[in-house]
Chains A and B, each alone.
Chain A
Amino acid sequence: MKDKFQSVGQNLSKVDGMGLVTGKPLYTDDLAPKDCLVIKILRSPHAFARIKGINTEKAEKLVGVEVVFTHENVPKHLYTRAGQSYPEPSVYDKYILDEYVRYVGDEVAIVAAQSEETALKALKLIKVEYEVYEPVLDMMKAQGSKSQIHFRERCFLNMDKGFEPEKNISAVYNFSVGEDVDEVLENCHVVVKERYKTQAQAHTMMETYRAFSYIDQYGTLVIVSSTQIPFHVRRDVALSLGISAGKVRVIKPRIGGGFGGKQTVQVEFYPALVTYKTGKPSKIVYDRKETYQATTSRHAMALDVTLGSDLDGNIKAIDMNIISDTGAYGEHAATVLGAAGYKSLPLYNRVDGARFTGKAVYTNHIPGGAFRGYGVTQGTFALESAVNELAAKLNMDPLVLREKNMIRKGESSEIFNLTTVGVGSDPIPMDSCELKYCIDKGKELIDWGNKYPRKVISPTKVRGVGMSIAMQGSGIPGIDTASATIKLSDGGTFTLLTGAADIGTGADTILKQIAAEGLGVSYDIITVFSADTELTPFDVGAYASGTTYFSGNAVKMAALDLREKILAEGARMFEINNEDVLFDGLEISSKDGNKTISLIDFSNKLIYKRPHIQLMGTGSYTTTDIAPPFVAGFAEVEVDLETGKVDLLNFVEVIDCGTVINPKLARIQAEGGIVHGIGMALFEEVKETKKGKLITNTMMQYKIPCRMDINNIVVDFAESYDKTGPYGAKSIGEVVTNPAPPAIVDAVFNATGIRIRELPITPEKLKMALINK
């Protein structure tokens, strides 16, 4: 398949790469007007309280202070910060400012001043009187708590996802397929029943949250934001201010990383409000503490998994029950919860019965939000850990157990269908699924045969290997929309306009490759522009692993559309039939070779001579026939039995992401995603005090892996092609993160006999378990 492609499959360098490495001023704060108002936010010191009184008089009088907002003088329109397609499944449970504060760090007042110093000074002059309530700081006790965090009459639902604020429930997700799970389990010879816990994880993108805004020459409120979701920001900001979305324009410049954090509208409301009310440009730049304290993190979860199999290791039943901590607000509460099940359980599609039950509960923690993997990482950790435990119980190689039970090409999964709005009961066949290859190749690359389960290196050092498989979606079928426009400009060049949000991933580059493939031209004559809600067509943005698949398909459609138009104009010019025209990327010619015109002359002629037209191709894409990517991950660890320290020596991941549009960029994205998984497995954990105050509020306290923590990582790709993807491609962004936590946990188990079920695996946890063994 690959050989047929010209641009797809090439190791094109990132189109913005040299701009980035030469330090060009391309990021949000580099572009902000020098004299704009600076916004700072007063935050709640309490985990749960009501503002009884707030006095801003002194702050307002401070020279240089432009405006102070409190819950008493902001527009009061309910919204959700979750960047999702409209109508969002997340509860609208937030105002720009509210009289209730629901976690330490929640917004109390907004100050805009002529300088940062003045704004900070003004914050100190605001006097707030709180009525402090008993906070809910244990997600397991949220449902029975006397403290109620949200109130039905102060929320709005687009759709009912089981919202029950009286019990602090933001969303409920239940589904089951096949036979009754309890009955099937009763008849199983081997049962694993365990609780797993995953921690809150902080995105820690290098560029913190920031945005600035101004009113342009047309009176439009322009927001330049470090966001993954420009179109959702436009809609949400308009909603929060009660104005028409037509009055809001969002521009996404270069972004210093997002990882899901910027799929939530974290900061844009504030400069939008200030500029809307004052008419003056304003900006907000969250410092690192605010970024940790007052945005979102990966939903912490407690996941109960019960697996049943026969003595031969045929898995008959899976039961998964989850409590997910959505924190103070319900951003992404229902969808992250659901994804934990419906994008992990389909891995084992041959069960007699499967059941998923889950609740996302409100607590007075930092809100949960989208984070690379979006619940699937949590679900995969629990499910794959349980499968590894089953393998141990059966005394069976976990690879053999996987091969017996996992989903294969051409098969379908009833559960996976549940992700798909509007598809009904028609099974979605896995047009591509190279899990078998991924496992076989990974086994070879890690040298499983020689290393499984353990090797004793010395009296104090033992090595072990472990593995996991995983899947993800490729965008959200039936819900996501991506569109693209390509125009043929004079001079014989093309411009691709896309609303897709390149946040460092290389989306601009791979979409250009897809455009070149579709047009049948060299990618050198295409420029890309993204993303500006006023100039580029709609795209939901960078999330749900949707860009390559959805935006890629839209770009392909636009390219094919434009190619057709080129051929048609050629036919008109040559006065022959459309089917008698050829376009080889450089020249348009008649099949008989009698008539030829270069692309440059052709494009000049179209615009400057008759018919004086701008040729444009456009495409909009959605689907219900979705293609998930698959991976197998293998970890080799060395455990210091005396200290409990785990060193990850090798991590191998073999990926089926369909056609690899750009192997170079895909490899780096995979390596980065794997390290996110390693961080979750070994290092990272959001920690709060007993009163709900964040401890891990700096990069000295919240440790992402550093260079010395990361050893060898091997990434390989399966030959794969999915007919639904653009030139056979599926997604890659999130799936790569999922296998590391369960694989590392299993490697530690194989090395030591200790099974860690609560992440991360700290030296202390392991050492104490070894002592108590």
Chain B
Amino acid sequence: MIINLHVNGIKKSFDINPDEYLVEVLRRYGYLSVKKACDTGSCGVCTVLVDDSPVLSCSYYAVRANNKHITTVEGISGEDRSLGEFLVDEGVDQCGYCSPGLILTVIAMKKELENPTKESIVEYLTGNLCRCTGYVGQLRAIMRYMGVSE
């Protein structure tokens, strides 16, 4: 079936099967920043934004995204782009495989949390697993990006 998605601000038609998850469709159409890692909705690596909300693209049926706005890391713009620089400045890019999902979640979090604290940031991001960095460096970078102090 054909669905319409606004991916990174551009409306496009996608030929999909209704039993396909969004990650499969996005990768098939060349949005390769979207990564798969766990297959069970457990790790946050495949996170994309659907109408600005972070969702696991591995667990979200593509058909449900019909006519919605999808943001992948290729499509982030403006001030949000600087988040990547904060991560790189702190050295927490490491293997980088979880970075796109983390970045998108942080962007959504920044909009959603009204008075972010260290605790609320950790809680919000706990679904983004990372095996390289041990998390604390990422937290330093993200707190700096969010303007949150210890």
Other contacts beyond A206-B132, A675-B135, A700-B42: 10, CB < 8 A:
A13-B91, A14-B94, A30-B32, A206-B98, A207-B95, A506-B91, A668-B94, A674-B134, A698-B42, A710-B135
B132 touches A707 (CB 8 A): no
B136 touches A25 (CB 8 A): no
Known: A14-B93, A22-B73, A25-B33. A671 touches B136 (CB 8 A): yes
Residue numbers of A with Cβ under 8 A of B are: 11, 13-14, 16-27, 30, 203-208, 254-257, 259, 287-289, 503-506, 662, 664-665, 667-669, 671-676, 698-700, 704-708, 710, 712-713
Contact of A287 among B39, B74, B94, B129 (CB under 8 A): B39
B40 touches A698 (CB 8 A): yes
Binary per-residue interface labels of chain B (37-51) against chain A in the complex, 1 for a CB within 8 Å, 0 otherwise: 111101101000000
List A contacts of B85 (CB < 8 A).
18, 21
Closest to A27 in B: B97
Contact of A23 among B33, B40, B89, B91 (CB under 8 A): B33
Closest to A671 in B: B134
Instruction: Give the residues from 28 to 66 in chain B that come closer than 8 angstroms, CB to CB, to chain A.
Output: 32-35, 37-40, 42-43, 45
Of the listed residues B95, B98, B137, the one surrounded by the most CB atoms of chain A closer than 10 A to its CB is B95
Instruction: Name the interface size band of chain B.
Output: 35 or more
> What's the nearest-Cβ distance from chain B to residue A509, in Å?
9
B89 touches A256 (CB 8 A): no
> What's the nearest-Cβ distance from chain A to residue B33, in Å?
2
Closest to A708 in B: B126
A698 touches B136 (CB 8 A): no
Closest to A714 in B: B136
List B contacts of A289 (CB < 8 A).
39
- A669 CA to B134 CA in the complex, in Å? 8
B interface: dominant SS? loop
B33 touches A710 (CB 8 A): no
List B contacts of A672 (CB < 8 A).
94, 131-134
A708 touches B122 (CB 8 A): yes
B126 touches A706 (CB 8 A): yes
Contact of A21 among B42, B45, B84, B134 (CB under 8 A): B84
Closest to B127 in A: A706
Q: Which 6 pairs across A and B sit closest by C-beta, in order of nearness?
A: A23-B33, A504-B95, A20-B96, A256-B97, A21-B84, A675-B134
> What's the nearest-Cβ distance from chain A to residue B16, in Å?
14
List A contacts of B35 (CB < 8 A).
27, 206-207, 256
> What's the nearest-Cβ distance from chain B to residue A528, in Å?
16
A704 touches B131 (CB 8 A): yes
B88 touches A288 (CB 8 A): no
Q: List 17 A-B contacts (CB under 8 A).
A: A14-B91, A18-B84, A20-B95, A24-B33, A26-B96, A206-B45, A206-B95, A257-B131, A504-B97, A506-B91, A668-B92, A671-B134, A698-B38, A699-B38, A699-B129, A705-B135, A713-B134
A206 touches B130 (CB 8 A): yes
Known: A23-B33, A23-B100, A699-B38. A17 touches B93 (CB 8 A): yes
Closest to A710 in B: B135
B74 touches A204 (CB 8 A): no
List B contacts of A11 (CB < 8 A).
91
List A contacts of B37 (CB < 8 A).
206-208, 256, 288
B95 touches A255 (CB 8 A): yes
- A706 CA to B45 CA in the complex, in Å? 13
> What's the nearest-Cβ distance from chain B to residue A671, in Å?
4
List A contacts of B45 (CB < 8 A).
206
- A673 CA to B134 CA in the complex, in Å? 7
Closest to B43 in A: A699
Closest to B136 in A: A713
Known: A668-B90, A675-B134. A206 touches B129 (CB 8 A): yes
- A95 CA to B124 CA in the complex, in Å? 47
Known: A18-B88, A23-B33, A207-B95. A710 touches B39 (CB 8 A): no
- A368 CA to B92 CA in the complex, in Å? 29
List B contacts of A675 (CB < 8 A).
134-135
- A503 CA to B95 CA in the complex, in Å? 6
B128 touches A664 (CB 8 A): no
Contact of A206 among B72, B97, B139 (CB under 8 A): B97
- A257 CA to B43 CA in the complex, in Å? 14
- A42 CA to B131 CA in the complex, in Å? 29
Closest to A707 in B: B126
Instruction: Give the residues from 100 to 135 in chain B that come closer than 8 angstroms, CB to CB, to chain A.
Output: 100, 103, 122-123, 125-135
List A contacts of B87 (CB < 8 A).
17, 21
List A contacts of B123 (CB < 8 A).
708
B32 touches A259 (CB 8 A): no
- A378 CA to B92 CA in the complex, in Å? 27
List B contacts of A259 (CB < 8 A).
131
List A contacts of B32 (CB < 8 A).
23, 25, 30
Known: A22-B74, A707-B122. A16 touches B33 (CB 8 A): no
- A31 CA to B34 CA in the complex, in Å? 14
> What's the nearest-Cβ distance from chain A to residue B140, in Å?
10
Contact of B40 among A14, A288, A662, A673 (CB under 8 A): A288
> What's the nearest-Cβ distance from chain B to residue A661, in Å?
12
Of the listed residues B34, B35, B94, the one surrounded by the most CB atoms of chain A closer than 10 A to its CB is B94
Of the listed residues A25, A288, A706, the one surrounded by the most CB atoms of chain B closer than 10 A to its CB is A706
A256 touches B96 (CB 8 A): yes
> What's the nearest-Cβ distance from chain B to residue A708, in Å?
5
Contact of A710 among B73, B98, B128, B136 (CB under 8 A): B136
A21 touches B88 (CB 8 A): yes
